[in-house]
Amino acid sequence: MNALVHSVAVLRFLAEIGVDEAVNDVPTDWTTVGPRARAAAAPPPGAPPASRPVPAQAMAPNRAAGGPALPGLESPTPGPLGAAEAGATARAAAGQASTLEELQRALAAFEGCALKRTATNMVFADGNPQSRIMLVGEAPGEHEDRQGKPFVGPAGALLDKMLAAIGLDRHAEDAAKAVYITNVLPWRPPGNRSPTDGEIAACLPFVQRHVELAKPDILVFLGGISAKSLLARSEGITRLRGRWFEYATPGLGKALPALPMLHPAYLLRNPVAKREAWRDLLALKVRMEG
């Protein structure tokens, strides 16, 4: 009975800190990789170094060049691309998209971000793409990953209330009262961890092209990751929020006014910061009406 109570307590603790899914198919026995295990597995002095196994992908001939595939050496699905290759592939794929539908298909086919392997759904966008206001968040969370839409969990509910306070609604048919929402990353990082620089760099060309195709009048960056990534700034969100910047890319006809704001998830953890968020919302309303 005590063991059962302990197991339930451990599971509850893991759920509270965001560990809600397994990443590896086979659990790792960490007792076999400690210093004693490494010392026991070390070759005796004077023994020749052990050869490292060659990955099957490296041994397989280049299928694109027409070479035959050896039995047992083909990978059923392609592995994630390297950082440089992922960035180049993302820029090429995003640049070829001339509509939001084409961009969504290109993103779904992209293999340069390992997050795609652990996510349940790709989260592309929500709202009215004809609206004047485009919001860019950071990455999907648990609720977004399950439903395939951005900002549908508790943070999304707070965001909807914030937008309603200044007369905006993501579901409004009138483009003047609607918003369009996406994220820098379309796939959820496991356990809601912060995305790595490599993951952000791999997906950045897609969100940049997303902005070019949506052509909003005003951009709002929700959270530090979206603000710093798209504005190429190093300051934290508490220093960036409430300040207007100009966002420009070669695919835009003109620079867009951009306002960084605190992420709704941050406001849920720090309710006192809602005062700053309200000031930013009022600044957004003034810019919309100007």
The whole-angstrom separation of Cα 219 and Cα 241 is 13
DSSP calls for 92-152: HHHHH--SHHHHHHHHHH--S-THHHH-SS----EE-TTSSEEEEES---HHHHHHTSSS-
Domain 83-289 -> CATH class: alpha beta
Q: Where are the domains of the chain?
A: 83-289
Residue 249 has pLDDT above 50, yes or no: yes
Residue 70 has pLDDT above 60, yes or no: no
pLDDT digits (tens, 9 = 90+) for 153-173: 999 999 999 999 999 999 999
pTM reported for the whole predicted model: 0.72
Which two structure tokens, joined as six digits, stand for 133?
């206001």
What's the whole-number mean pLDDT along residues 212-229? 97
Q: Which of 264, 262, 263 is nearest to 154 (CA)?
A: 264
pLDDT digits (tens, 9 = 90+) for 182-195: 999 999 999 999 99
DSSP 230: H
Instruction: Give the CA distances from residue 264 to residues 47, 56, 159, 161, in Å, rounded to whole numbers and listed in that order.
Output: 59, 45, 6, 10
Return phi, psi of residue 145, to 5°.
-65, -35
Residue 60 has pLDDT above 50, yes or no: no
The whole-angstrom separation of Cα 88 and Cα 241 is 31
Q: Which of 215, 205, 230 is nearest to 93 (CA)?
A: 205
Residue 139 has pLDDT above 50, yes or no: yes
The whole-angstrom separation of Cα 210 and Cα 184 is 10
Mean pLDDT of the chain: 83
The answer to whether the CB of 149 falls within 8 A of the CB of 181 is: no
Give the alpha-carbon dihedral of 284, 201, 88, 250, to 10 degrees: 20
Residue 87 has a pLDDT of 76
Residue 209 has a pLDDT of 98
- Angle formed by the axes of helices 224-231 and 197-214, to 10°? 70
pLDDT band at 259 (very low <50, low <70, confident <90, very high): very high
The residue type at 202: A
Burial of 216 (0-12, 13-18, 19+ CB in 10 A): buried
Tell which wins on pLDDT, 1 or 129. Answer: 129
pLDDT digits (tens, 9 = 90+) for 14-53: 666 555 555 555 565 655 555 444 444 455 555 544 444 4
Q: What ranges in 123-273 are assigned the alpha helix state H?
A: 142-147, 154-164, 197-214, 224-231, 237-240, 264-269
Range name among 22-36, 92-106, 137-151, 245-259 with the lowest pLDDT average: 22-36
